[in-house]
Amino acid sequence: MDIRLFDSSDLPSRNTALDQGDKILNDQLPALQVDDRFHNEPARVGVLGPSDAPIGVASITATSRREGSSLPPWTMQLVLRTGSEDSLCSLVSGLLPSSGAEVWIRPEHQTVTDEVQRCWPDAYNCRRLHLMAVDLPVATEPIPTRALNPNDEADLEAVVRVNNAAFSAHPDQAGMTVDSVRAKLAGIGHGAQGVRLAEIDGVINGFCWTQIHHQRNLGEISVIGLHPDVHGRGLGAPMTAAGLHWMHRQGLSQAILYVEAGNTAAVKSYRRLGFHVAHDDVSWMIPGAQ
Ligand SMILES: CC(C)(COP(=O)(O)OP(=O)(O)OC[C@H]1O[C@@H](n2cnc3c(N)ncnc32)[C@H](O)[C@@H]1OP(=O)(O)O)[C@@H](O)C(=O)NCCC(=O)NCCS
């Protein structure tokens, strides 16, 4: 079966392909899970199957990695209709760069795992994310915060400074810039009021960035970070609580977040707040021809 490829030279077709991927994905996800992976700006999108009812969609996006990262600078997002898992190899191969890619195939499924291992015996799991959920409000007292002022360069720089120090070892959350903060703020469900800044020891040393999924009446902790200077003081839970309380004040009664399963300090902080693991997502490192 042929793959049809789309890029930014034909935006309407590319966007239709992304919407089709989004639809296949969201038809399979539990109600709690919000997944906007097909809402990014990929370099290319591949569609397998009839144009009015595709059986699979994959998109590939250039991804900046921290220096020294062993991961290739490409992330692929892939979804297949249930029962079409045997199309996985053709869809991935149709878009795979020679350097390989980190491939997210959600939701996690044994048939998918078997198919990846059959096609690429050298492929390996590189990341595992917990999707965690909590009912609002939470009992934990939040750390005092104020909203980010999007017109104040110092506020934007403070978020960049704390983020890049907090996530210096993270595969794709490091490398924030003032421009990327502005771009993220303009995203759907984001806004300056929902970015809570905490002054700790006289400077902004923490922030909690929230996002609201209005169509699902669901809040998300998009990023929470404390500067390493203030780690280990029990501030993880109250810093997160600041975002949760803000979302509850907006009328929301449930919140989710994604966290690397191995981030013990974060997972412990979230459990302390009442979060539980609802689901896991796994990415595969699929080698290219190089
Ligand atoms: C995650 C983060 C907010 C937690 O805040 P913190 O101040 O470091 O952690 P806390 O002092 O609040 O400790 C939380 C728990 O983790 C434990 N912990 C702290 N650092 C730890 C470490 N390096 N390894 C294992 N456990 C650790 C603490 O003992 C505490 O456990 P307890 O609940 O049993 O008492 C902070 O580490 C951070 O900003 N990290 C970088 C950015 C990040 O990972 N954000 C989350 C992304 S989803």
Give a yes or no: residue 275 inside a domain.
no
Give a yes or no: residue 268 inside a domain.
no
Q: Give percent of the chain above pLDDT 70.
A: 96
Query: At residue 137, does pLDDT exceed 70?
Result: yes
CB 98 within 8 A of CB 289: yes
Q: For residue 166, which atom of ligand 1 is closest to its CA? A: 41
Give a yes or no: residue 269 inside a domain.
no
- Report for 83-97, 207-221, 232-246: range of highest mean pLDDT: 232-246
Tell me how many domains the chain contains: 2
- Considering the domain architecture, whether residues 101 and 170 belong to the same structural domain is answered as no
What pLDDT score does 30 carry? 66
Burial state string for 218-236 with b = 16 or more CB within 10 A and e = fewer than 16: bbbbbbbbbbeebeeeebb
What pLDDT score does 206 carry? 98
Rounded to whole angstroms, the Cα distance separating 145 from 135 reads: 21
Query: At residue 281, does pLDDT exceed 90?
Result: no
What pLDDT score does 1 carry? 75
Q: Give percent of the chain above pLDDT 90.
A: 72
- Considering the domain architecture, whether residues 21 and 119 belong to the same structural domain is answered as yes
What pLDDT score does 171 carry? 67
Q: Three-state SS for 190?
A: coil
Structure-block tokens of residue 112: 């998918």
Residues 99-121: tens digit of each pLDDT: 999 999 866 778 889 999 999 99
Query: At residue 217, does pLDDT exceed 80?
Result: yes
Give a yes or no: residue 168 inside a domain.
yes
Mean pLDDT to the nearest integer, 135-160: 98
Domain of residue 92 covers: 3-128+281-286
- Considering the domain architecture, whether residues 94 and 57 belong to the same structural domain is answered as yes
- Considering the domain architecture, whether residues 20 and 63 belong to the same structural domain is answered as yes
- Considering the domain architecture, whether residues 70 and 153 belong to the same structural domain is answered as no
CB 258 within 8 A of CB 280: no
CA torsion, ordered 172, 177, 183, 186, to nearest 10 deg: 100
Point out the least confidently predicted range of 32-41, 47-56, 141-150, 192-201: 32-41
Rounded to whole angstroms, the Cα distance separating 21 from 29 reads: 12
**The domain spanning residue 245 has which CATH number?**
3.40.630.30
Nearest CA to ligand 1 atom 26: 265
- Considering the domain architecture, whether residues 119 and 162 belong to the same structural domain is answered as no
- Considering the domain architecture, whether residues 71 and 185 belong to the same structural domain is answered as no
Burial state string for 143-167 with b = 16 or more CB within 10 A and e = fewer than 16: bebeebebeeeebbebbbebbbebb
What pLDDT score does 31 carry? 64
- Considering the domain architecture, whether residues 148 and 67 belong to the same structural domain is answered as no
Residue 174 near ligand 1, beta carbon < 6 Å: no
Residues 8-67: tens digit of each pLDDT: 999 999 999 999 998 988 888 766 666 677 777 899 999 999 998 999 999 999 988 777
Give a yes or no: residue 265 inside a domain.
no
Tell me the C-alpha to C-alpha distance, in Å, between residue 193 and each of 148, 159, 242, 245.
6, 14, 12, 12
- Considering the domain architecture, whether residues 108 and 7 belong to the same structural domain is answered as yes
Q: Which DSSP helix (H) or strand (E) runs through 148? A: none
More confident residue, 154 or 29: 154
**Residue 251: pLDDT band with limits 50, 70, 90:** very high
CB 246 within 8 A of CB 210: yes
The secondary structure of residue 196, as a DSSP letter, is E
User: What is the best residue among 239, 244, 269 to mutate for testing ligand 1's pocket, by most ligand atoms within 8 Å of CB?
Assistant: 269
Mean pLDDT to the nearest integer, 150-167: 97
Q: Which amino acid is at 122?
A: D
Any idea what the Cα angle at residue 220 is, between residues 218 and 225, rounded to 5°?
Answer: 165
- Considering the domain architecture, whether residues 120 and 184 belong to the same structural domain is answered as no
Question: Is the alpha carbon torsion for 165, 166, 168, 171 positive or negative?
Answer: negative
User: What is the best residue among 140, 224, 271, 275 to mutate for testing ligand 1's pocket, by most ligand atoms within 8 Å of CB?
Assistant: 224
- Considering the domain architecture, whether residues 112 and 216 belong to the same structural domain is answered as no
